Amino acid sequence: MHNTRRRFLAAGAGAAWGALSATSLHAAAPSPDSDGTPGKTLQLHPIGKVEKEGKVTRLHVHEPYAKALKGLGGFSHVWVFWWFDRNDKPERRRVLQVHPRGNRKNPLTGVFACRSPVRPNLIALTLCNIRSVSDDAVEVERIDAFAGTPILDLKPYIPGCDAPKNAPNLPGWLTGKKPAAPPAR
């Protein structure tokens, strides 16, 4: 994780995350229906938490979900969906545009067009290299989340589903190049 991002997350740190197995995460505001009017509030239940001990990083899965790890050891990579729990403040959920990577030299960009931890729903996504899978944990090479961070879901990386068929377009602030004209549609 970039040092500036780590400082940003640490600055927004709230109280320590409590007993994850008994905790639910709630959306700050009701999710809108298709016409934009407020709808139902979503409730998420963490399936585990990130553990870090020295150079070892583990995705510990709570006992009720441990059987869901069966077969994951046959994959080399796993998508980890996790919650920016230390950044969960109502005012931060209302921020819709940021300078990517906290760099004011980058153009003001919508949070849906970058990986900012400031967003309406604090869902994060990291592709991790799997080192090993045990009965209740996945050891990974690294993850850009803090120890104790709640894990929402795990999904195996499948090239045919996850890799784009065409070369991806990336904005200039990310590549360091002048932006190209968007493809004709």
**Structure confidence by residue, pLDDT tens digits, 36-79:** 666 678 888 999 999 999 999 999 999 999 999 999 999 999 99
- Tokens 């869902």, residue located: 123
User: Tens digit of pLDDT for each residue in 133-155?
Assistant: 999 999 999 999 999 999 999 99
Of residues 89 and 1, more confidence is placed in: 89
**Domain residue extents for the chain:** 3-13+46-160
Dihedrals φ, ψ of 96, to 5°?
-110, -10
Q: How would CATH label the architecture of 3-13+46-160?
A: Beta Barrel (2.40)
Amino acid at 177: K
H or E element: which one contains 17? Answer: none
Of residues 182 and 151, more confidence is placed in: 151
Dihedrals φ, ψ of 167, to 5°?
-60, 130
User: Would you tell me how many other CB atoms lie within 10 Å of the CB of residue 180?
Assistant: 11
How far is Cα 4 from Cα 157, in angstroms, rounded to an integer?
Answer: 28
Of residues 66 and 31, more confidence is placed in: 66
